[in-house]
Amino acid sequence: MARTARKKSNSGIYHIIIRGINRQTIFEDQEDCTYFLQILQRYKEISGYGIYAYCLMGNHVHLLIKIGIEPLEQVMRRLCGSYVYWYNLKYQRVGNLFQDRFKSEPVETDEYFQTVLRYIHQNPIKAGLVKRVEDYPWSSFHEYVTQAALVTTHLLLDMISDDNQPKRERFIEYIRENSDQECLDIDPEGKQRLTDEQAREIIKQACHLKNAIDLQQFDPHTRNTYIKILKERHHLSIRQIERLTGINRGIVLKA
């Protein structure tokens, strides 16, 4: 079946999601997150795009960007290609890390721009990682409330400004507001019994590993034995094991 053509944005602004292949974790530690942000900064200067928001989750990334010199597809090839090369070298793996096709949606109005930006920053709360948006370290929230280094903050701050309230104070209030509005998202997977952070720690301890993805390195018999333990003793879901270890769903299912 032919792929649906990507919708073009008249404003040049897109909400983008990059996801790990087989829902694999793409950020194992702080160094991984830091390096991805460095790549965003590097290609921002080369490709001429603007960044309004970002949020690095365990197995996916949300971006709100405005395309500049280079088209969207070229920008994403640069970002993904650079990170995959570094990640594979660090973790001694080969092959794809990201799902073949990133997801995107055009952002054409001020109202939807505000909605998407709040949605991106609230992502860690909805995923059960934190209770307050300010407690999550890997989003652009902190650039809005302290000092912007990577993101352009004035567009959103001007939109929601109130003459009776400082802009950054208004921003915090706006981002904390409950919102049921839906935006582009990864495919729903249902609620998990454990957060990914909890499940990752279980995998590392139960399998005696430094990183969850290292489970791929075992011989098939040992690997399958550990997978069975994770499913039956620790009650990790098939999708969660698949996502955190990068092991094919069929293998996890049969183990």
pLDDT tens for residues 140-169? Answer: 999 999 888 899 999 999 998 877 788 889
The pLDDT assigned to 186 comes to: 64
Question: Average pLDDT of 235-243?
Answer: 85
Copy the structure tokens of residue 199: 């499940």
The pLDDT assigned to 189 comes to: 43
Residues 93-118 have pLDDT tens digits of 888 898 878 899 999 999 999 999 99
Q: Which of 17, 212, 13, 10 is nearest to 104 (CA)?
A: 17
The pLDDT assigned to 61 comes to: 95
Model confidence at 193, pLDDT cuts 50, 70, 90, reads low
Average pLDDT, the chain: 88
User: Under 8 Å CB-to-CB from 140, ≥6 apart: which residues?
Assistant: 51, 52, 53, 54, 55, 120, 121, 150, 151
Q: Which of 19, 18, 150 is nearest to 73 (CA)?
A: 18
47 versus 194: which is more confidently predicted? 47
Question: Average pLDDT of 29-33?
Answer: 93
Distance CA 110, CA 198 (A): 38
Helix axes 220-232, 238-245, angle to 10 degrees: 130
Model confidence at 78, pLDDT cuts 50, 70, 90, reads very high
Residue with tokens 């921002």: 44
Q: How many CB atoms lie within 10 A of CB 123?
A: 20
Cα angle, residue 63 at apex, residues 57 and 67 outer, rounded to 5°: 160
Distance CA 136, CA 142 (A): 9
Distance CA 245, CA 215 (A): 6
Question: Average pLDDT of 34-58?
Answer: 95
- Rg, C-alpha atoms of the chain: 19
Is the pLDDT at 90 greater than 70? The verdict is yes
Residues 211-237 have pLDDT tens digits of 999 999 999 999 999 998 898 878 788
Residue with tokens 């370290």: 137
Q: What percent of the chain has pLDDT over 70?
A: 94
Distance CA 107, CA 111 (A): 9
The total number of residues written for the chain in this structure:
255
Phi, psi of 186 (to 5 degrees): -70, 165
